[in-house]
Amino acid sequence: MALHPPVTVALARRVDQLPPGQMWSVEPKLDGWRCVLFRTEDGVLLQARSGRLITDRLPDLAEPALALPPGVVLDGEAIAYRNGQISLGAMQSRALASPRRAAALALASPATYAAFDLLQDASGRDLRREPYTTRRSALLEVLADVGPPIEPVPATTDPATARDWWEAGPAGIEGLMLKNPRGGYFGARRYWLKIKH
């Protein structure tokens, strides 16, 4: 496998409004744990944004992620729900928990993995230099037969839909992420844009 932990994740620069004049791919920004998912030949590894392995904190994602083809590396957000709404607190309660306690918390508030990027495909090909549109299409293909709790984040290039997401502002959606459809995946660089409520 070409990619292995730790992978340096792409970052976003904060802006105050949708920039005019350029087409963007827009995704809802979810309130959870940034998490890189590695489907290895013999299991699953989950890495936090910091580079630390957190697989033992997310057993409810590690097991279903075995349905992914070996070699696949995803970037996304681990989120959990309380009372039907995304709850950062439900995820943060696992941060200092022992593996046994984390497993109990996982039963109480199961996590969902909202995948927003495909960094490596099942053949071991590094996709980070490919355009976002290529990676997005490959992501949807990889996840087509996997199903919950491993799911793709919604995305749109329609400004009206993006505005609707922004104005609806349901709990747990922090704002919007904007990505250049022709852009690559640049670790440690604030190449993406984010608008936060």
Class in CATH terms, 11-196: alpha beta
pLDDT at 171: 60
The question of whether 29 is a catalytic residue gets the answer yes
Q: What count of other Cβ atoms lies within 10 Å of the Cβ of residue 40?
A: 14
Cβ burial of 70 (10 Å; 0-12, 13-18, 19+) is middle
Give the 3-state secondary structure of residue 30. Answer: strand
Do the beta carbons of residue 131 and residue 181 sit within 8 Å?
yes
CA distance 66 to 45: 10
CA distance 191 to 121: 22
Mean pLDDT for the chain overall:
90
Average pLDDT over residues 73-99: 86
pLDDT at 170: 59
pLDDT at 169: 66
From residue 112, how far is each of 88, 147, 195 by CA, in Å?
12, 10, 23
Whether 1 has a pLDDT exceeding 60, the answer reads no
Cβ burial of 188 (10 Å; 0-12, 13-18, 19+) is exposed
Average pLDDT over residues 51-55: 94
Q: Looking at per-residue confidence, does 68 or 191 come out higher?
A: 68
* pTM: predicted TM-score of the whole model, two decimal places: 0.93
- Kindly give the pairing relationship between strand 44-48 and strand 73-82: unpaired
pLDDT at 174: 84
pLDDT tens readout for residues 95-154: 778 888 888 888 888 899 999 999 999 999 999 999 999 999 999 999 999 989 999 999
pLDDT at 59: 92
Domain parsing of the chain, residue ranges: 11-196
Cβ burial of 18 (10 Å; 0-12, 13-18, 19+) is middle
* Catalytic residue chosen out of the listed positions 29, 179, 194, 196: 29
